Each structure stands twice: as C-alpha cells, then as structure tokens.
Amino acid sequence: MSQVLSVDGVDAGYGETQVLRDLSLSVEEGEVVSLVGRNGAGKTTTLRTINGILTPTAGTVTYRGEDISAFDPTETAKRGISLVPEERQIFPELSVMENLRLAEFGGTESESAHSVSVQEALDMFENLAERTGNPGSSLSGGEQQMLAIARALVAGADLILLDEPTEGLAPYIVQDVMDIVEEVNERGISVLLVEQNVHVGLELADRNYVIDQGRIVWEGTSEELESNRQILDRHLGVSV
Ligand SMILES: Nc1ncnc2c1ncn2[C@@H]1O[C@H](COP(=O)(O)OP(=O)(O)OP(=O)(O)O)[C@@H](O)[C@H]1O
C-alpha cells in the first residue's frame, strides 16, 4: 500500500490559540481512517490544517510525497483533496444539478484523481437523481450531506476529508450516509472521517485515531478500539 497522506508532528491553531500539538497521522491508499474524539478535541482543526485553511506552525503535511504544508485550499483541491465540512457547503439557492455542474470546475488537476461524472454521481445517489431541479435548500439534512459528498466526487476527489457526516441526522439516514461512504471507498477513494459518534467510525474505518486535547492518544483497528474500554471511557466517554 502506498501512502496518500502523512501528517507529521504538526502544531496548529488559531492565532495565539494552539489547538494541535505534535499531531501525526497517516492515510494509506484506499483506506478509511477515522479520527474520533470528544467535542473540542481538535478534529475539525486537523481537517482544516490538512486542506490548507490553516497552516501548521510546526511539522509537515505531505500528500503523495509532496510537502503541502503551506498550500491553500485551492492548491490542495487541485491535488485531489476535498473537504466536506460539517456545515456541508452546498449552494442552497442553486438546484441539485447546478450544484453538481459547478463542482466540475475548480476541482482537481491531479492525474491520480478518480473522476466521477455528474451522471455517475446521480446513479450513485438515487435521492438526488429524483430531485435534480430542486434547490439545495429544499433538501433534507441527509440529502444535503449526500449532495456535498457527490460534489466532492464530481470535483475529482482522491482523498475526502469528511467532517461529522452523520451529525444531526435521523438514525435511518445515518445508515444511508454510511453506505455511501463505503461505496465511495469501493471506488478507490481514500477517506479521513471525523466522527464524534464512535460507532460510525468503528463500523466504517480500517484504522482509528483517538484525539484528545489536540494530541493523538491512541491508534489502532476498530476491533482493538472496541475491546479497549479504558480508551473508550477515558477519551471518548462512551461504552460500546
Ligand atoms: N476559529 C476559531 N478560533 C479560535 N478557536 C477556535 C476556532 N475554531 C475552533 N477553535 C477552538 O479549537 C478547539 C478545537 O476545536 P475543533 O473544532 O477542532 O474541535 P472538534 O474536535 O472538531 O470538536 P467539535 O466536535 O465540537 O467540532 C476548541 O477549543 C475550539 O474552541
């Protein structure tokens, strides 16, 4: 397996506020990796540092062998990194089709990226195919999440950074979103998934990192995490 992403010894934060402390993690080709942790642990900050919204004050972010630590979001998008933020970032006043068509522009220029056409995306997301003329704002939370993921695919994502995709969704929609993440991954796209819901991470991920106060405090497979009650209690406050 070749390495897609490597974050090494990264410090990052907001102005004087340091959030990430000597944080290291990696994603191998075709993996789903989860980053789980409590509220405020630094999960979103980690994704923002990878896609270039934030710049590390120490350490490096490497993508397919290239140091991207100083890149901005446009430059990381051209390499095939696509952040689907918690607030889902779709254009509410534009139709589903217009949202998808816009994603075709300004996406990746990377040769390694997996290009998905608008039609292929609509084939994957049946709910969206039935609503191509509807404005984004009329979609349910789950459908907006689907549209945000579909936009990432059409933009040619090679590594999708998913920030709490199941946040605020009804349980039966959570399963739909999880199915989609699996389907995306089956297309060979690597996924770094941020979740507060450890059950979602455990079910989808090949490997998990637990983050607490900006530091990685544990790393292992889902089976290992599930059987490690101490980690679950101490850092995640859950019992499985
Ligand atoms: N724009 C900002 N300016 C200053 N501090 C911020 C900013 N955004 C987040 N923080 C702080 O950084 C810390 C980590 O936040 P982050 O959003 O990365 O956590 P998280 O693990 O994603 O949590 P959540 O699940 O609540 O989103 C928190 O203490 C938060 O208050």
For the chain, list the strands marked E by DSSP: 3-14, 17-28, 32-36, 58-63, 66-67, 81-84, 159-163, 190-195, 207-212, 215-221
Alpha carbons 211 and 220: distance in angstroms, whole number: 12
Chain position carrying tokens 């942790």: 37
Alpha carbons 111 and 186: distance in angstroms, whole number: 19
What is the CATH classification number for the domain harbouring 158? Answer: 3.40.50.300
Count Cβ atoms within 10 A of the Cβ of residue 163 and give its class: 0-12 exposed, 13-18 middle, 19 or more buried: buried
State the average pLDDT for the chain: 90
Q: What is the pLDDT of residue 227?
A: 85
Ligand 1 neighbours by CB, cut-off 6 Å: 14, 17, 19, 37, 39-45, 196
Q: What is the pLDDT of residue 196?
A: 80
pLDDT category of residue 46 using cuts at 50, 70 and 90: very high
Separation of CA 142 and ligand 1 centre (Å) = 24
Nearest protein CA to atom 2 of ligand 1, as residue: 14
**From residue 26, how far is each of 5, 20, 160 by CA, in Å?**
5, 15, 13
Please give the number of the atom of ligand 1 that sits closest to the Cα of 196.
25
Its domain, for residue 218, covers 3-236
Alpha carbons 240 and 227: distance in angstroms, whole number: 8
Q: Is the pLDDT of residue 94 over 80?
A: yes
- For residue 191, give the 3-state DSSP assignment: strand
Q: What is the pLDDT of residue 95?
A: 95
Interval 53-79 mean pLDDT:
96
| Position 58, amino acid | A
Alpha carbons 25 and 129: distance in angstroms, whole number: 36
Q: Count up the domains in the chain and report the number.
A: 1
**Nearest partner of 149 among 84, 203, 72, judged by Cα:** 84
> Which residues are bridge partners to 35 per DSSP?
194, 209
Please give the number of the atom of ligand 1 that sits closest to the Cα of 214.
14
Predicted confidence (pLDDT) per residue in 145-179, tens digit: 999 999 999 988 999 999 998 888 888 888 888 99
Tokens of 234: 């101490």
Predicted confidence (pLDDT) per residue in 194-240, tens digit: 988 888 888 899 999 999 999 999 999 988 888 887 777 777 776 54
Alpha carbons 158 and 155: distance in angstroms, whole number: 9
ipTM rounded to 2 decimals: 0.95
